[in-house]
Chain A
């Protein structure tokens, strides 16, 4: 060991007071620079996290209270379902045995007729709410059964059960039950008491029809003193070529070539031309030789050419009419009426009679034969409905309309119908009552809020999270020495930064998404298209922020970490990135706010975001001033609040010393 003569004995060093020179000025700066705003910020930044979160909730609550009073309509249109009318909307989820109790949901913007809307809704309700469960029957009483399923016990009112297999199951049996789980009623609450709610489903339209269809008319006065006419009107009749005939519907082409579709349920009666063939009993046995004459009768005025064509279409033509080798002579003889014709057949004057009729008496010949059992007349085949291109007659059911008379002319009458559908629901039967009120959507009813401000916020948050990942990934690649990684990430950054975000969103929506749909199992919703476009577009900016942040950390930090034996990824993860993140927090916060604003662009993908709802509202009401004011105010409130949050985070992550 070396000589220590001229070096003093080494003592453990004493802690030294801080020596840096800036100390005295710190106090001075505090006094000079700290204004009220700074003091407030410092105070906020000093609060614990939970207090800040609590404050955020409080501000949001105050905000929703304030906004529900001001600009009420607009706000609701923006923050709530865009399809509400000006009336308060109640949505009640109801248990009922008969889904037909539900009249329907009126969709304000819909061009469909009320009946169509109701029909589609009914279908929806039945389709979507019918559930099937299997399990052991554990309890039975007159009103309900309880089954133990894999996921728990389910009690089902008997009246809601559509099928039960086996139907006579007893306690302990394994059963499969299909039942109506829930039905939704939407409408305006008109009355309520302890036990029931009465809801008027909004269901109005103007109907105009010819006065000659009126069968009877009476005027009634509602309890509110409103005069309402009640008209029984004749169902419409249509004539045309039958194109389809199914269990549920009838399609016709009218004489003027316009097609028409009718529901079978609306049809009072349908007349299809029917061919009836009657034979003289003796003639039915006779063979026809080449020189024989076949005598066929028909009623004057009926279409015998058509009848013969229909006859040819029969798959088994009765014997005397099988003159098809062309050598037998045919004599067509017309008669004045059915009785004369049939008597001629019975008397043997005719071999056969043909009768083709589309009217109500289309079975008249068959009835005559039935009524004259002694006559020598037989029906070799039952009456046969026309097979091809027949002209049919359809008459719809008579119905009743109620409403206020708007206009009455000699030929027509216009009625504003007020649907009399009041649904009374037992409170016991209500599973849950999703009440939608103006402004309430903001806090207590997020379920239905897939639009407006909520969509904007959700898309922004998800897209920003993804953009952070993309940005970090490419940012790290940008600081690599590997030329391929560097070139690849630089290409991404330069290309994406050089294309307008709007164009990127359109790419995501109309190029990438359809391609994915065609070539992969991925089905991107509109919302995910927007998220994809926003995050991809912003990833490039965030990559540059991360690159700058990483490069701002001195090389000494990396060297120190490496000299301690850390690998490159470890040094990046534990030493460089934590410091870089502090540096980049302010620009990241700015980008978040910028993205929130740029999310307004997603309305090009037909997403009902805040801006899109604002525009819808304005196009409906022409209240551009209020509409855009509210849109701007909502964006402003969000961005101001966020920039405050960014500043608080910035201060809280500031290093001491």
Chain B
């Protein structure tokens, strides 16, 4: 699968024929049924699809929050299956969650400095300087000492983005970053993501924000029932889908 964008370097993410099954009390759910996807460095990929189509699972597989049953995932030339030091890979892959997952007992500043100090072994002053820079970058420089409970949803998500960026990741994964937000806060988060995309960050975004996809994404991917149905440039995919299921889905959300 060759991406339409220009660069032809080695893909930073290679996903090859990945299967994933969840075993529950009610039975087995086959969440991923042979997904393959390459992401080039600097590329922004938006994944859309109906609920339960496996898009979040795919994202979580990329930093091994979920294990795969078969297939290969190679991130930054390191195969994830059987990787000796998964933590090293994870430090290179930032993740932003739908429910923010900020540490509620720590201030915004501490949220951002903790992993820098524990994982990157940075000194306190260095970590804090980086945190203040990032808070300024995401537009909330005055919230350093606020606890997550004192922040709005949009502010929390921006702190979460800053937290992930503090590790200087090569790849950022966004798992429906705006789904839990009130409509008026969505824009402030998307603005930050758009700025990030423009800086050339490799991003994989699970989101239904068509405006963002059109503005920022190099490629859009439509998934359904654990398979990639269709992919292409966002404008093309959204306005002129070839597959029936894509058409049906787009007709519902647009």
Instruction: Give A contacts to B, CB under 8 Å.
Output: 1-4, 6-7, 10-20, 554, 556-557, 559-567, 570, 574-575, 578-579, 582, 655-657
List residues 170-226 of chain B with CB under 8 A from any CB of chain A.
182, 184-185, 187-188, 191-192, 194-195, 198, 211-212, 214-218
Does more than half of chain B's interface fall in helix, strand or loop, or is it mixed?
helix
User: Given A13-B192, A557-B101, do A565 and B150 touch, yes or no (CB 8 Å)?
Assistant: no
Chain B contacts of A17 at CB under 8 A?
152
Chain A contacts of B94 at CB under 8 A?
563-564
From B97, B119, B154, B211, give the contact of A565 (CB < 8 A): B119
From A4, A559, A564, A565, give the contact of B215 (CB < 8 A): A4
Tell me whether B91 is interfacial, beta carbon within 8 Å. Answer: yes
Q: Are A570 and B105 in contact (CB under 8 A)?
A: no
User: Given A13-B139, A565-B87, A565-B90, do A574 and B101 touch, yes or no (CB 8 Å)?
Assistant: no
Q: How close is B219's CB to chain A, nearest CB, in angstroms?
A: 10
Q: Are B115 and A564 in contact (CB under 8 A)?
A: yes
From A18, A554, A566, A579, give the contact of B150 (CB < 8 A): A18
Chain A contacts of B237 at CB under 8 A?
none
B interface residues, how many (CB within 8 angstroms): 61
List residues 156-172 of chain B with CB under 8 A from any CB of chain A.
158, 160, 163-164, 167
Q: Are B215 and A566 in contact (CB under 8 A)?
A: no
Q: Are B97 and A562 in contact (CB under 8 A)?
A: no
Q: How close is B168's CB to chain A, nearest CB, in angstroms?
A: 11
Inter-chain CA distance A566–B191, complex, in Å, is 28
With most chain B CB atoms within 10 A of its CB, the pick from A7, A11, A559, A563 is: A563
18 contacts between A and B (CB under 8 A): A2-B216, A6-B215, A7-B194, A13-B139, A13-B140, A13-B187, A17-B152, A18-B150, A559-B101, A564-B163, A565-B92, A565-B115, A565-B119, A575-B114, A578-B105, A582-B105, A655-B147, A656-B149
Chain A contacts of B139 at CB under 8 A?
12-15
Chain A contacts of B147 at CB under 8 A?
655-657
Q: How close is B197's CB to chain A, nearest CB, in angstroms?
A: 8
Chain B 134-147 against A: per-residue CB contact (8 Å), 1 yes, 0 no? 00001110110011
Chain A contacts of B187 at CB under 8 A?
13
Chain B contacts of A13 at CB under 8 A?
138-140, 158, 187-188, 191-192
Residue on B nearest A581 in the bound complex, by CB: B105
Chain B 28-69 against A: per-residue CB contact (8 Å), 1 yes, 0 no? 000000000000000010000000000000000001010000
Q: How close is B51's CB to chain A, nearest CB, in angstroms?
A: 19
Closest 5 CB pairs of A and B: A657-B149, A565-B91, A13-B139, A7-B215, A560-B101
Residue on B nearest A556 in the bound complex, by CB: B101
Q: How close is A289's CB to chain B, nearest CB, in angstroms?
A: 113
Chain B contacts of A655 at CB under 8 A?
104-105, 147, 149
Tell me whether B93 is interfacial, beta carbon within 8 Å. Answer: yes
Chain A contacts of B164 at CB under 8 A?
563-564
User: Given A14-B139, A570-B119, do A564 and B149 touch, yes or no (CB 8 Å)?
Assistant: no
With most chain A CB atoms within 10 A of its CB, the pick from B97, B160, B215 is: B215
Q: Are B195 and A19 in contact (CB under 8 A)?
A: no
User: Given A2-B217, A562-B65, A582-B105, do A18 and B118 touch, yes or no (CB 8 Å)?
Assistant: no
Inter-chain CA distance A579–B115, complex, in Å, is 16
Does more than half of chain A's interface fall in helix, strand or loop, or is it mixed?
loop
Inter-chain CA distance A269–B76, complex, in Å, is 105
Chain B 90-124 against A: per-residue CB contact (8 Å), 1 yes, 0 no? 11111101010111110000000011001100000
Inter-chain CA distance A579–B148, complex, in Å, is 13
User: Given A7-B211, A14-B139, A657-B150, do A579 and B167 touch, yes or no (CB 8 Å)?
Assistant: no
Tell me whether B151 is interfacial, beta carbon within 8 Å. Answer: yes
From A1, A18, A564, A579, give the contact of B90 (CB < 8 A): A564
Residue on B nearest A582 in the bound complex, by CB: B105
Q: Are A559 and B97 in contact (CB under 8 A)?
A: yes
Tell me whether B14 is interfacial, beta carbon within 8 Å. Answer: no
Q: Are B119 and A564 in contact (CB under 8 A)?
A: yes
Inter-chain CA distance A559–B99, complex, in Å, is 11
Q: How close is B37's CB to chain A, nearest CB, in angstroms?
A: 19
Chain B contacts of A563 at CB under 8 A?
63, 65, 90, 93-95, 164
With most chain B CB atoms within 10 A of its CB, the pick from A560, A561, A656 is: A560
Q: Are B103 and A575 in contact (CB under 8 A)?
A: yes
| Extra pairs beyond A13-B192, A560-B101, A566-B87 (16, CB < 8 Å) | A4-B215, A7-B211, A7-B214, A15-B142, A554-B99, A556-B99, A559-B65, A560-B97, A561-B115, A563-B65, A563-B90, A563-B95, A564-B164, A565-B167, A566-B119, A656-B147
Q: How close is A155's CB to chain B, nearest CB, in angstroms?
A: 53
Q: How close is A10's CB to chain B, nearest CB, in angstroms?
A: 5
From B44, B103, B105, B198, give the contact of A560 (CB < 8 A): B103
Residue on B nearest A579 in the bound complex, by CB: B105
Q: Are A6 and B87 in contact (CB under 8 A)?
A: no
Chain A contacts of B105 at CB under 8 A?
578-579, 582, 655
Chain A contacts of B91 at CB under 8 A?
564-565
Inter-chain CA distance A218–B214, complex, in Å, is 124
Inter-chain CA distance A565–B85, complex, in Å, is 10
Q: How close is A588's CB to chain B, nearest CB, in angstroms?
A: 17
Tell me whether B243 is interfacial, beta carbon within 8 Å. Answer: no
Chain A contacts of B11 at CB under 8 A?
none
Inter-chain CA distance A629–B149, complex, in Å, is 48
From B104, B158, B184, B215, give the contact of A579 (CB < 8 A): B104
Q: How close is B134's CB to chain A, nearest CB, in angstroms?
A: 13
Q: How close is A580's CB to chain B, nearest CB, in angstroms?
A: 10
Tell me whether B88 is interfacial, beta carbon within 8 Å. Answer: yes
Inter-chain CA distance A564–B211, complex, in Å, is 29
Inter-chain CA distance A561–B105, complex, in Å, is 14
Inter-chain CA distance A19–B212, complex, in Å, is 24
Chain B contacts of A10 at CB under 8 A?
191, 194-195, 198
Chain A contacts of B212 at CB under 8 A?
7
Q: How close is A109's CB to chain B, nearest CB, in angstroms?
A: 56
Chain B contacts of A565 at CB under 8 A?
87-88, 90-92, 115, 119, 167
Q: How close is B231's CB to chain A, nearest CB, in angstroms?
A: 15
Q: Are B103 and A557 in contact (CB under 8 A)?
A: yes
Q: How close is B212's CB to chain A, nearest CB, in angstroms?
A: 8
User: Given A11-B191, A582-B105, do A2 and B152 touch, yes or no (CB 8 Å)?
Assistant: no
Q: Are A16 and B185 in contact (CB under 8 A)?
A: yes
Q: How close is A562's CB to chain B, nearest CB, in angstroms?
A: 6
User: Given A563-B93, A657-B147, do A18 and B152 touch, yes or no (CB 8 Å)?
Assistant: yes
Chain A contacts of B63 at CB under 8 A?
563
Chain B contacts of A12 at CB under 8 A?
139, 191
Residue on A nearest B200 in the bound complex, by CB: A1
Q: Are B153 and A19 in contact (CB under 8 A)?
A: yes
Tell me whether B155 is interfacial, beta carbon within 8 Å. Answer: yes
From A19, A564, A570, give the contact of B182 (CB < 8 A): A19
Inter-chain CA distance A560–B96, complex, in Å, is 8
